[in-house]
């Protein structure tokens, strides 16, 4: 007989693995040339693309460069902090880059973040993007990882630069 988890949040699929880097362009080229991962969609992750941004619960402004590529059923994300306060910049200073967070899609990402906060897992950073997108980076120290519930926007790839170019 199958057991039922008592968890209030149920993750049914991993959609993204993210790595914080110092030099996005060079890491994108290396992934393409060494492991054949790509093509990449590269974005400037800043206002107005990202809005209602919060860092440790307080309104904030920052900008990053973000690159996305599919690897089978999982998206690989590379993030380079550029300016402003962010958990990416904190991570780069503290650890020098590396594996940063795991993502799962959740149409009720807002509610999931609230449930996890009530369970003692605070949101480190959050924001909105596109027409209806929302993301939350949750501090899940006992799990040894930051988890990101995300509600996707329908216009995600608008304004992307591709590498290698078509």
Residue 87 covered by a domain: yes
| Res. 166: pLDDT tops 90 | no
Whether 160 is covered by a domain: the verdict is no
Q: Is 112 left (phi over 0), alpha (psi -120 to 50) or beta?
A: alpha
Residue 10 lies in a domain: no
Per the domain annotation, does 71 fall within a domain?
yes
Please indicate, yes or no, if residue 32 is contained in any of the structural domains.
Answer: yes
Asked, for residue 162, whether it belongs to a domain, the answer is no
**Domain of residue 50, residue span:** 16-154
Q: Is the per-residue pLDDT at 156 higher than 70?
A: no
What is the CATH number for 140?
A: 3.10.180.10
72 belongs to a structural domain: yes
Provide the pLDDT for residue 165: 87
Of the candidates 123, 101, 97, the residue with the CA atom closest to the CA atom of residue 112:
123
Q: What is the pLDDT of residues 3-49, one digit of tens each?
A: 899 999 999 999 999 999 999 999 999 999 999 999 999 999 999 99
Domain count, the chain: 1
* pLDDT number for residue 2: 81
pLDDT in tens, 74-128: 999 999 999 999 999 999 999 999 999 999 999 999 999 999 999 999 999 999 9
Closest Cα partner for 119 from 100, 99, 143, 103? 143
Examine residue 5 and state whether it is found in any structural domain, yes or no: no
């Amino acid at each position: 007989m199958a057991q039922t988890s008592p968890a209030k949040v149920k993750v049914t699929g991993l959609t993204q693995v993210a790595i914080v880097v110092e030099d996005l362009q060079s890491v994108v080229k290396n992934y393409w040339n060494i492991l054949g991962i790509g093509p990449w969609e590269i974005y400037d992750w800043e206002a107005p693309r990202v809005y209602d941004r919060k860092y440790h619960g307080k309104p904030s402004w920052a900008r990053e460069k973000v690159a996305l590529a599919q690897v089978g059923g999982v998206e690989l994300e590379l993030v380079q902090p550029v300016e402003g306060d962010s958990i990416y910049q904190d991570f780069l200073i503290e650890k020098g880059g590396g594996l940063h967070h795991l993502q799962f899609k959740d149409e009720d990402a807002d509610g999931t973040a609230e449930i996890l906060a009530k369970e003692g897992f605070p949101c480190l950073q959050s924001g909105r993007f596109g027409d209806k997108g929302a993301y939350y980076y949750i501090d899940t120290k006992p799990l040894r990882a930051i988890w990101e519930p995300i509600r996707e926007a329908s216009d995600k790839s608008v304004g992307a630069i591709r590498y290698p170019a078509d």
